[in-house]
Structure 1
Amino acid sequence: MKLFKRILLVLVILVAIVVYTQYPKLNIISGYASKNMASTVFLTDRTPASVTVNDNNVPLIKLATVDVEDARARASVFGLMNREAVCFDGIGCMLINEEFDENSKITVPRRSKKANRMPFPYGDGPPKDTIFNNVDYGLLDYALDKAFENPDVQKTRTVLVAYKNQIVAERYTKGFDHQTPILGWSMTKSVMATLYGILEYENKIDLNHAAPISEWQSDERKNITLNHLLRMQSGLEWEEDYTSISDVTKMLFLDTDMTVGQAKKKSLAPPTEIWNYSSGTSNLLSGILRKQFKSHQEYMDFPYASLIDKIGMNSMIIETDQAGNYVGSSYAWANTRDWAKFGLLYLNNGNWNGEQLFDENWIKYITRPTEHSNGTYGGHFWLNAEKKFPDAPADMYSANGYQGQRVFIIPSKDLVIVRTGLAESPDFDFNYFLKNVLAAFE
């Protein structure tokens, strides 16, 4: 009997430890599940069942039960840690907490989606039926076949190849087409950086100026510039771990204002001495961007007026946090053709149908390898400078997002390649994919 009581006591203690250590994770799980469900259903018009079986069918997140009603989603895990996400026209969906006022006014961007029947990329009309003599279309078809051949593992959703500004290959899995918005995840970081490139071109900002964070001015952080933030070399502490309760998961699924978390972190090293990838830094940049404008409305309008609507990415929406800040680290949605337009803007050195949006030198800036990144990172873009992808050119650079969202820009080949899905390396072999696509242009 004494042995039984001891075993029971040990079991009780073990259960208590598990509950104590794992219970807070339920908040993250419910937050992710409700936010992802709300945004996907609201912005893409897909069914809750499809999101449950596919998008939310990942470890831990699939433990959540999600209910969808009107423009909101509620999630819990075994009835615990209820979280809710609500949706609004113009800004998508946001996680809310007890601070949220249902009666508060929501500021939405004023957009100018002009009907334009010009062919892709300069309009929303059908692409030109263009044949290039130097393109092997059989090999291109083979490359796309391989990208979709094992859907249960590769989980590819869309692929688009644009050569010399024209679509030469395009394919979609069942349930997706050229109008279906795709969550870019961290490809949003490259969009956020581009806004800084536009401001710099307009002489409204200097990347070498110290970041305007008042809390930093009395310590060593006062030496951190916008350049350091764009290059992820501020030296600030940040934990980018999506498998635990970390800085990034707390920011995305707990914080009311996602722009303040990184600003509160201590300095681990002087700027440039370390490189540390940080979604908190991208959202800090979103907060700094907001300070450039006299009103919240001007801030909300700027990304669309200066970039998104200007190049006809009419499907794109950047979602906000509860405090009204663009989530510049993670929450831009756009269909595959509009993601390709973003890549083509860069392929054309910032010139869009005759109008210069940012300086050509901006390309040199964002593609210059950042110290200590092993040649893989520039200014909020990923690089192939050290040939991480050995079968792709060294001048290739890309906007990268979670689960294998990619916009590859390859200037030497006059190519933009978009791939979206729910899997990345090793389940989706990007080097093999790029090798197959590039073979059609040699």
Structure 2
Amino acid sequence: MKAIKRILLLLLIVVLIAIIYNYPKLNMLSGYSAKNMASSVFVADRSLAFTDATDNNFSPVNLASDEVDIENKIATSSAFGLLTRKAVYRKGLGSVLTLTAEDETADYLVPKRAKPDNLTPYPYGNAPQKDTVFVNLDYDKIDKSVNFLFDSINKTRAVLVIYKDKIVLEKYADGFTKDSKLLGWSMTKSLLSTVFGVMQHQHKINVLDKAPITSWQNDERKNITINNLLQMNSGLEWDENYTTISDATKMLFLERDMTKIQEEKQLVGKPNESWNYSSGTSNLLSGILRSQFKTHQEYLDFWYTDFIDKIGMNSMLLEADLSGNYVASSYSWAITRDWAKFGLLYLHNGNWNGTQLFTKDWVNYITTPTPTSNGTYGAQFWLNTENEFKDAPKNMYFADGYQGQRVYVLPDQEMVIVRFGLKNFDENTFLKGVIESVK
């Protein structure tokens, strides 16, 4: 009996040590599950059961138990009953993880939105597009190039192909339609960059200026420019790791103000010589944008009034942190057709139906390879200058999000291609087939 008690005591000690060691990870696990559940249910209008079976159904997130309070718009996730996190939905700002009970009922400002244009044909409005058949387009080849993505392996949810401003292919997985909002993840970084482009065009900011960060003015960080930050080439320390406790996971799941964590990091390299992918940098840039406005309301409104709603991306919702900063690294939702409008804005060099939001100079800027990025990165956009996708043109560029969310811009082909899903896929084969469909 004594021997059994000793064994049980030893096992209890082992379990307690394991819990203590992994407790911070449980915070991230339940935090991810709660945040994703709240956004899926209250932003994208999906069900708890669907979200648990799909978006949250991967290890170790699927170990969390989820509940949804529809009336109070709160999602709760528990990791083995040891640690519970909550995420609350705020109209106009999306869902956010709470840190205190007061966060569930706190007051907040809401961005002002424009009314959708449902009379003008797509893409400049939301009415049905005028049908056009292109004789130089092999529609069967496009279909074949897209259909293979919609299987249990590739887990694609939506693909849309635009050629010469017309939708030539639009396909959705079961359970999704043209009205389904989809999460762009890190494609939000490209939206952030575009806001800088709009402000640059309006002479409200100069990206070549030094970053206006007060805490940097007494050390070497004072030499970092906004350009260095947009190119993720600041030399600042940052750990972008989602498999463990890192700067990125602490920021997304533990911070009230996500714009500050990168600001507090020290230099580990030299500006313009040390490219390092950093979601913290994107959120720092969101904070810099906020500092350019006299009021918080103006900051919240500008992204929509002067960019997003200006091009009719009326379904889009940018999610904010507890301090009211847009989470420019990760959280933006919109229907596929609106994501395609974003690509078209760049295909037309910043001109939207006669209105210039930014110039071709900005397009040249965001598609210029960042020093030390091996030609793969511009200014919050990804590039193909080194032919990573060997059968796509070198001047193709794209917004890139976790699990293969993409908005590709192909200037030579006059195409925009959008893909959403739950898994990375064979991009080169897909792009090759679509591109070759143009005779």
Name the CA shift for 1:372/1:5 in 2 (closer, same or farther; >3 Å): farther
CA contact (8 A) 2:98 2:104 kept: no
Deviations along 1:411-437, one digit per CA (max 9) or x if unpaired, are 01111000000000xxx1111111111
Corresponding residue for residue 426 of structure 2? 429
Cα drift, residue 11 of structure 1: 4.9
- For 1:340-351, what aligned pairs fall within 5 Å after superposition? 340-351=340-351
Give the secondary structure class of the aligned counterpart of 1:315.
Answer: coil
User: Which of 53, 61, 78 is matched with 2:80 structurally?
Assistant: 78
Shift of 1:20: 2.6
Match of 1:280 in 2: 280
* 2:128 corresponds to: 126
Q: Could you list the runs of 5+ residues in structure 1 that have no partner in the other structure?
A: none
Aligned to 2:196: 196
Instruction: Measure, in 1, the Cα distance between the counterparts of 2:348 and 2:299.
Output: 26
Give the aligned partner of residue 313 of structure 2.
Answer: 313
Q: Which amino acid aligns with 1:238?
A: W
Deviations for 1:146-191, whole angstroms, at most 9, x for unmatched residues?
121x2x2100000000001110000001111111110000000000
Tell me the number of residue pairs that the alignment of Structure 1 and Structure 2 aligns.
437
Report the Cα distance in structure 1 between the residues aligned to 2:352 and 2:289, rounded to whole angstroms. 23
AA aligned opposite 1:34:
A
CA–CA distance in structure 1, aligned partners of residues 158 and 134 of structure 2: 22
CA distance in 2, matches of 1:265, 1:4: 51
Cα distance in 1 between the residues matched to 2:115 and 2:388: 39
Provide the rounded CA distance (Å) in 1 between the counterparts of 2:37 and 2:61: 11
Q: Please give the residue correspondences for 1:17-96 in structure 2 after superposition, counting only pairs within 5 Å.
A: 17-70=17-70, 71-96=73-98
Residues 405 and 419, structure 1, Cα contact 8 Å, conserved in 2 = yes
Task: State the distance in 2 between where 1:100 and 1:247 align.
Answer: 26
Taking the aligned partners of 2:417 and 2:216, their CA distance within structure 1 comes to: 40
Aligned partners of 1:114 and 1:53: how far apart in 2?
Answer: 33
| Counterpart Cα distance in 2 of 1:227 and 1:99 | 39
Aligned-partner SS, 2:83: strand
Other-structure match for 2:294: 294
2:435 corresponds to which of 424, 434, 438: 438
* Stretch deviating more after TM superposition (397-406 or 84-93): 84-93
Q: Is the 8 A contact 2:117 2:312 kept in 1?
A: no
Once the two structures are superposed, the pairs formed by residues 90-109 of structure 1 within 5 Å of their partners are 90-98=92-100, 100-109=102-111
CA deviations over 1:36-79 (Å, ceiling 9, x no partner): 00111111211110000000001111011110012110111111
How far residue 114 of structure 1 moved from its aligned partner, in angstroms, is 3.5
Structure 2 counterparts to residues 183-332 of structure 1, below 5 A: 183-332=183-332
CA contact (8 A) 1:86 1:96 kept: yes
Deviates more, 1:110-119 or 1:236-245: 110-119
| 142, 161, 172: which one aligns with 2:144 | 142
2 CA distance for matches of 1:27 and 1:313? 34
1:274 deviates by 1.0
How much has 1:9 moved relative to structure 2? 7.3
* Greater CA drift, 13-22 or 409-418: 13-22
Q: Distance in 2 between matches of 1:229 and 1:162?
A: 32
1:386 counterpart residue number: 386
Q: CA deviation at 1:119?
A: 1.2
Say what the alpha-carbon RMSD is for the aligned residues.
Answer: 1.6
Question: Counterparts of 1:223 and 1:195 in 2: how far apart (Å)?
Answer: 23
Question: Retained in 2: the 8 A contact 1:184–1:330?
Answer: yes
Residue number in structure 1 paired with 2:118: 116
Amino acid at match of 2:377: Y
C-alpha displacement at 1:18, in angstroms? 2.3
How far is the alpha carbon of 1:441 from its aligned partner? 1.1
- Paired with 1:372 and 1:115, the residues of 2 have a C-alpha distance of 43
Cα deviation, 1:361-384, whole Å, max 9, x if unaligned, reads 000000001111111100000000
Deviations 1:6-47 (Å, cap 9, x if unpaired)?
877765554344223211111111111011001111112111
Q: 1:197 & 1:113 partners in 2: Cα distance?
A: 24
Determine helix, strand or coil for the equivalent of 1:310.
Answer: helix
Give, as a single letter, the amino acid of the residue that structure 2 aligns with 1:109.
Answer: P
Task: Note if contact 1:112-1:305 (Cα within 8 Å) is conserved in structure 2.
Answer: yes
* Counterpart AA for 1:96: T
Note the 1:327-366 alignment, pairs <5 A. 327-366=327-366
What code does the residue aligned with 2:434 have?
Answer: V
Any idea what the Cα deviations from partners look like across 1:373-416, whole Å, max 9, x if unmatched? 11110000000000001111100000000011000001011110
CA distance in 1, matches of 2:6, 2:153: 46
| Cα distance change, pair 8–99 in 1 and its aligned pair in 2 (3 A) | closer
Distance 2:277 2:266 in 1: 15
Give the Cα separation in 2 of the matches to 1:20 and 1:227.
42
The answer (yes or no) to whether the contact 2:88–2:104 under 8 Å persists in 1 is: no
Greater mean alpha carbon deviation, residues 109-118 or residues 26-35: 109-118
Q: Report the 3-state secondary structure (helix = DSSP H, G, I; strand = E; otherwise coil) of the residue aligned with 1:423.
A: coil
Contact 2:116/2:126 (<8 A) preserved = no
Out of 78-87 and 97-106, give the one that drifted further. Answer: 97-106
Pairwise CA distance, 1:5: 8.6
CA distance in 2, matches of 1:129, 1:421: 28
